[in-house]
Amino acid sequence: MRIITYNVNGIRAAMNKGLVDWMKSSAPDVLCLQEIKATPDQVDVTAFEEMGYHMYWYPAQKKGYSGVAIFTKIKPNNIEYGCGIESYDFEGRVLRVDFDTCSVASIYHPSGSSGEERQAFKMKWLSDFHGYIDGLKAKLPNLILCGDYNICHKPIDIHNPKSNANTSGFLPEEREWMEQFIQSGFTDSFRHFNQDPHQYSWWSYRAGSRGKNLGWRIDYNLVANHLNEKLKRSVIMPDAMHSDHCPVLLEIDL
């Protein structure tokens, strides 16, 4: 199974930059999208249908904001929209599909970069999300949690850890949450295969950051630990240029 997570920063904008042709060549079985910024009626889905995708959308209530989607060639047994907490579901942050062998979620964690109010919202989300997943693990142990976590876990995951030490996305309390969450039963599938530095999935649009590879690794495919022996490969795909993020691929033999 080829699973790709991708924050497209607006699916319509990404389609205008060649997203459909990229999907044809990369051929994910399951594509987890974040920040779609659109409702299905605003998007010409013909090309996705022709590729054989079943499409599930969970947009934010606010137009042109946030939202997640999952496109899958494998028809799921069940689709779960949201996490059951109104303030988060209003923003379209969690969508899950359940298959015979695993459950795959597309998750868009809030950013706290716009100020103290949103940082507080982010920290409450992190606490609530951890509790939500803890409850989910009991009935769905084979979880694969894909998405934009808006957190760099370790210094290796950010281009300049010293100057960003007090920046949202690399705050000590965020990194500690990430460590505890992973330790609660998940594997960072990219780091499972790759310990090299300078591997990023997001770059600021400012100051030519992407060309200089001054980035952050904030997009993850986290896999339940007991599936580790089934992991085959995970790579970041920086050549995909449809967004300020790039896709992250996970191959798993289920």
Radius of gyration of the chain, Cα coordinates, nearest whole angstrom? 17
Which residue of the set 29, 98, 148, 219 is catalytic? 148
Is residue 148 flagged as an active site residue? yes
How far apart are alpha carbons 28 and 79 in whole angstroms?
19
How far apart are alpha carbons 6 and 12 in whole angstroms?
14
How far apart are alpha carbons 223 and 213 in whole angstroms?
27
What beta strand segments (E) does the chain contain? 2-7, 30-34, 54-58, 68-72, 78-81, 94-98, 103-108, 143-148, 186-188, 202-203, 215-216, 219-224, 231-236, 248-252
Query: With contact defined as beta carbons under 8 Å apart, do 201 and 172 qualify?
Result: no
Query: With contact defined as beta carbons under 8 Å apart, do 215 and 206 qualify?
Result: no
Q: In what order do the strands lie in the sheet with 219-224?
A: 78-81, 94-98, 103-108, 143-148, 219-224, 186-188
Residues recognised as catalytic:
148
